[in-house]
Amino acid sequence: MKTQVIKIGNSRGIRIPKSLLEQSGLGKEVDIEVREDELIVRSIDKPRKNWAEGFRAMAEQKDDTLLDVNDSSIQNRWDKEEWDW
């Protein structure tokens, strides 16, 4: 997608279309990096930042099993009679 570099005071900026903002998850603050001839813009917010730690803690507490595998009260008639286990 093409866009123009616009003047903002002594600096320059680009307008990022709403659809690209939604797809990228960019928030109010971003991290900008120059790599060779590219300008990389990344979101500072990492939505899954602490997931690995959370999963590790769940495993230690044995809280990481599937609920419907061991709980027959969740199964319905179709599960019991129609499904091949």
Instruction: Please report the pLDDT score of residue 32 as a whole number.
Output: 94
Q: Which helix (H) or strand (E) holds 77?
A: helix 77-81
Phi, psi of 41 (to 5 degrees): -115, 120
CA atoms of 80 and 78, how far apart (whole Å)? 5
* Range 1-66 has CATH code 2.130.10.10: no
Nearest of 46, 65, 69 to residue 55 by alpha carbon = 65
> Is 7 a residue whose pLDDT tops 70?
yes
CA atoms of 49 and 77, how far apart (whole Å)? 40
Within 8 A by CB and 6+ apart from 1, the residues are 17, 20
Name which residue leads in pLDDT, 23 or 83. Answer: 23
Name which residue leads in pLDDT, 2 or 85. Answer: 2
Question: How do residues 14-69 score in pLDDT, each as one tens digit?
Answer: 999 999 988 988 888 899 999 999 999 988 877 788 899 999 999 999 888 776 66
Instruction: Please report the pLDDT score of residue 61 as a whole number.
Output: 93
Mean of pLDDT values over 10-15: 94
